[in-house]
Structure 1
């Protein structure tokens, strides 16, 4: 477990930690030379079967970015205030930051008690709890590194604190240092925000590369496992140069998605805020410039909350409920804290009542089960996106889907309500098509998808169509989808004529025929023959590839199979390749391949054609 210590420069944090733990946290030559903490200093206190870790964060304003980097994944903090100097500028700023991070507990530690009277100390405590109401229930310890006053009592209190970091979530680790050790290679240090890691585990760097863990030091002790809430040094086995890994990178158990550059947060203002302004955003060991936009108000008073959107210049790896610190555009003033509600927020309708109601429900949801029910209300969501946003492992997601009576199909999760809605849209679209085109058999699967749910996952909509076919709510005739009640039939006289027409096509041995040629050969009126052939087309017996030029549909199926086999072998097919395969003239080959493009079997890509819907012509 890690506990952060913060406060004004020269208020005795480093000396206090040395008295508490026996370790001097200044580790850089420049720090020792200047007598102040510049970067993050660490000390460890073995107590029973656990080891407490302490971060000594910089107190000087110039080094505030380093102080913010020490606060990722922390649940407890000690605010250090010197008894003889009281509250100072950086004390107030650090306290504001700690409050905005919504830590579980902030301990007030008065140092240098030997340099002030008890009256001074009592007045200081009264002043602080009066000025900062949220400190009124905080534990208070009066200490002296010189006399050891209060040190043992504080140590006993800290030992009893529970570790609130979640070891059951996927491993997530913020890197704050990178260096090399002779004979060992690259070592990174940082804090484990969640999960656990073992020697020989494979993890993902935030750039996407895999690394293997060779050795682990947890809380400054060699071990075979590190867990959430610990300070870890990880020895990496990687083909990457040390320079390719830097402070601000991450190690993840899950393969990382694209980082976020547009997010929605619950904002807690430290000072009055305008509707739009530039900000500096701090998250764990990362920092980005951004633009803050209030969503529900034009202005926001200090200590008030509102929904807001942040657009980041540098995308960050964020998850639900991550804490952010926001500073002014000139980076001179703390302006707000924020809690992440949604990553990859929508670009449009962000202030609509429906959208704001969704955010309210999301904020009020008590757990991941309730939030996932909200995510799946009106859309299907990628499995990896759910696992990442809520930081879940696969088994936990399965349990949640079961509780919500939701469904997972391949890479997508959805609710039964969503499926019922899409099913109805599919059936309605076909009913409308039949009404508008009563002489057509139906639609191909790819075209039906484009009509009904173009922005939804294609494989998922195809899965819904297959389920409707299995249930008998849809039927498929020669590849065309239609409602069961939609029928086109020949009359007995037309059936007799069809036998004559079929004989003409069979005699052509795979070649198409024009309406005029068949009419002349059978000595029939051309208009009557045209109407008959198009009806045969609607029944699926014939197919016009251009106006008045027909193939036997079964012949087209044979040619479609030839095309699919060719594409399977080489990835695409050209007009010249198909011409050589079928021994057609170029004009007929162009007509044929353009027909396959129009019906959705193929898609033109430059000078070649690739497969679009392989299930057509099956």
Structure 2
């Protein structure tokens, strides 16, 4: 089924809600306050179907004090239905609504002149000409202009037919689902239900979704599209989602629901902006920012001015995190005044200088993604994650990988989804050389080197190891690499080195992994060496991570027996008096005494058995 979202726009009392009722029978003003005041206060949602076509209507309030509610609905419009009363023509909120629609980048528009029965044909034609002239100031794609009266069924049917000629949604498909909540409520026996518009990609029943600001994953228990149960909801579907194990009190209008792993939260955004005619943005001033159905107070920091600008770049700072993507539209308002519209250029807070950031913003503004990658790689010398390309550039993984592969002077790890500037290869090479220069008997695998250079992927490290092997600096022995200048028996030498070290450390031996790291040998290899030493009885294993040289153990056992002879017993106190070791060692050696048949443990003391 094809879907399109049509949103109303227009001045208060020009007949937006009455027109929707005439089209589909839906009474939009549902609340008691709305009925008493006779105006739409919040958004209302309804639809109209014909065969395989579905039109979703979002009716917005026309009152100047309720523009914030209008913006919350407008972000999801595919097309705008500008409603103008033939009796009054263009009014202040007609202008502001159109300015906001233009700032949000919505281009398709239909014009409906209402109350045609209350004016003459000449007045009607004059109003049409005035509206067309007004709209020429903007770059809208005007689909048609239609004159109606809710009391003339033929005019309403004519409008319906024209609406069904509109093409389905042109919202771009992304590689992950996004959904701004515009309403949230709890239904007895069902649980938490949210409503909103599907963006990015479809969502299916029983699929897992992620709520970034809560850092919680949940499952879709039920989907309703226009009050009908559905197996999935597609882009531009108005959908109600029943969420599992989420309390209604945890969510509010403006919260985003998405997929895990795609969006990181930041309390800053970098934008390009353009003010409405006669308006300016002030540096370091607080404004209300609208993104999706979310409203948040922010501070605006201009890039190229410490006073005011009509257009340019700015950094937005907030006291909460945004979860946004490249090219999302925003609106900035001050009190009840719309000031500017903007486009998110950089939704990730990167550690970079202002001059570097300016270059990045210029590249992103020009949609030069290749140049943006190159600039970011200068700031991310230890690798730029391609998975973040979904958020940074609104690219799919495949598109991001293709960009990475076609960049010059980079290494693209397709498996790990990371790209590295090629010059960082020299840094890795130097790190590896230092290891093998410091310890001639170093014997490491790729995985062991990665433990030391955590930011580098195994594939990137492997390219360096391959080069060092070609340069005859290293020799590969199975999956381990050794110094090419050492010709002796590595295994025998390493056994001697570890045995000697344990003997020198005497009663306070280092834990095995620390020894391996100090000697720069692979952990698996180190474990095998210790097993060999234990089988030869040169080293004794007392605990999981405590190995002692046999000579040292014999010595301490002899000395512990001497303490028993002198004091009649040994416990941790008199043992520590003679040997001020850590408690870990003392208890281990005392426990080892229990292996001797002539020694008995009584409470916490060891004594000789009486003959």
Instruction: Give the TM-score normalised by structure 2.
Output: 0.71
Aligned residues of 1:505 and 1:512 also touching (Cα < 8 A): no
For the structure 1 residues 423 and 19, does the alpha-carbon distance in structure 2 shift closer, same or farther, using more than 3 Å as the test? same
Other-structure match for 2:454: 458
Q: State the shift of 1:401 in Å.
A: 4.8
Q: State the shift of 1:460 in Å.
A: 1.4
For the structure 1 residues 174 and 558, does the alpha-carbon distance in structure 2 shift closer, same or farther, using more than 3 Å as the test? farther
Q: Deviations over 1:337-390 (max 9, x none)?
A: 11111112335522x1x43222222222377x8866765576322354234444
CA distance in 2, matches of 1:462, 1:566: 28
Q: State the shift of 1:158 in Å.
A: 2.7
Q: Deviations over 1:214-261 (max 9, x none)?
A: 32221333322210101111223x223332333222322334644221
CA distance in 2, matches of 1:22, 1:453: 66
Other-structure match for 2:10: 7
1:146 paired residue among 148, 151, 160:
151
Other-structure match for 2:423: 421
Other-structure match for 2:463: 467
Other-structure match for 1:222: 229
CA distance in 2, matches of 1:508, 1:131: 87
CA distance in 2, matches of 1:103, 1:43: 20
Q: State the shift of 1:28 in Å.
A: 1.8
Q: State the shift of 1:184 in Å.
A: 3.0
Other-structure match for 1:356: 358
Indicate the larger mover: 239-248 or 331-340. 239-248
Other-structure match for 2:38: 35
Superposition RMSD in Å? 4.4
Residue 211 (structure 1) aligned with residue 221 (structure 2) = no
Residue 336 (structure 1) aligned with residue 343 (structure 2) = no
Aligned residues of 1:196 and 1:226 also touching (Cα < 8 A): yes
Q: State the shift of 1:10 in Å.
A: 0.7
1:283 paired residue among 288, 291, 301:
291
Map 1:251-400 onto structure 2 (within 5 A): 251-255=257-261, 257-270=263-276, 271-298=279-306, 302=310, 305-328=311-334, 331-346=335-350, 348-350=352-354, 352=355, 354-365=356-367, 375=376, 379=380, 380-390=383-393, 397=400
For the structure 1 residues 168 and 102, does the alpha-carbon distance in structure 2 shift closer, same or farther, using more than 3 Å as the test? closer
Q: How many residues align?
A: 508
Other-structure match for 1:510: 503
Map 1:85-124 onto structure 2 (within 5 A): 85-124=88-127
Secondary structure at the counterpart of residue 103 of structure 1 = coil
Other-structure match for 1:65: 68
Aligned residues of 2:443 and 2:482 also touching (Cα < 8 A): no
Secondary structure at the counterpart of residue 511 of structure 1 = helix
Q: State the shift of 1:335 in Å.
A: 0.9
Other-structure match for 1:77: 80
Map 1:105-254 onto structure 2 (within 5 A): 105-132=108-135, 133-134=137-138, 138-139=142-143, 140-148=145-153, 150-159=155-164, 160-167=166-173, 169-206=175-212, 207-236=214-243, 238-254=244-260
CA distance in 2, matches of 1:324, 1:251: 18
Q: Deviations over 1:7-55 (max 9, x none)?
A: 1111110111122233222222221222111111122110220210010
Other-structure match for 1:55: 58
Indicate the larger mover: 502-511 or 201-210. 502-511
Aligned residues of 1:280 and 1:289 also touching (Cα < 8 A): yes
Secondary structure at the counterpart of residue 510 of structure 1 = helix
CA distance in 1, matches of 2:246, 2:497: 70
Aligned residues of 2:107 and 2:141 also touching (Cα < 8 A): no
For the structure 1 residues 274 and 51, does the alpha-carbon distance in structure 2 shift closer, same or farther, using more than 3 Å as the test? same
For the structure 1 residues 397 and 256, does the alpha-carbon distance in structure 2 shift closer, same or farther, using more than 3 Å as the test? closer
CA distance in 2, matches of 1:374, 1:504: 48
CA distance in 1, matches of 2:482, 2:281: 58
Secondary structure at the counterpart of residue 68 of structure 2 = helix
For the structure 1 residues 169 and 577, does the alpha-carbon distance in structure 2 shift closer, same or farther, using more than 3 Å as the test? same
Secondary structure at the counterpart of residue 138 of structure 2 = helix
Q: Deviations over 1:152-209 (max 9, x none)?
A: 4443333222211245632211111122334433322111122112222222233232
Q: State the shift of 1:147 in Å.
A: 2.4
Other-structure match for 1:535: none
For the structure 1 residues 136 and 422, does the alpha-carbon distance in structure 2 shift closer, same or farther, using more than 3 Å as the test? closer
Aligned residues of 2:329 and 2:342 also touching (Cα < 8 A): yes
CA distance in 2, matches of 1:347, 1:327: 29
Ranges in structure 2 where 5+ consecutive residues have no aligned partner? 507-515, 520-528, 547-580, 591-611
Q: State the shift of 1:150 in Å.
A: 4.8
For the structure 1 residues 18 and 403, does the alpha-carbon distance in structure 2 shift closer, same or farther, using more than 3 Å as the test? farther
Secondary structure at the counterpart of residue 179 of structure 1 = strand
Aligned residues of 2:45 and 2:57 also touching (Cα < 8 A): yes
Other-structure match for 2:511: none
Secondary structure at the counterpart of residue 95 of structure 1 = helix
Aligned residues of 1:170 and 1:391 also touching (Cα < 8 A): no
Q: State the shift of 1:299 in Å.
A: 5.6
CA distance in 2, matches of 1:505, 1:181: 68
For the structure 1 residues 267 and 18, does the alpha-carbon distance in structure 2 shift closer, same or farther, using more than 3 Å as the test? same
Aligned residues of 2:43 and 2:61 also touching (Cα < 8 A): yes
For the structure 1 residues 57 and 562, does the alpha-carbon distance in structure 2 shift closer, same or farther, using more than 3 Å as the test? farther
Aligned residues of 2:177 and 2:202 also touching (Cα < 8 A): yes
Instruction: Give the TM-score normalised by structure 1.
Output: 0.70
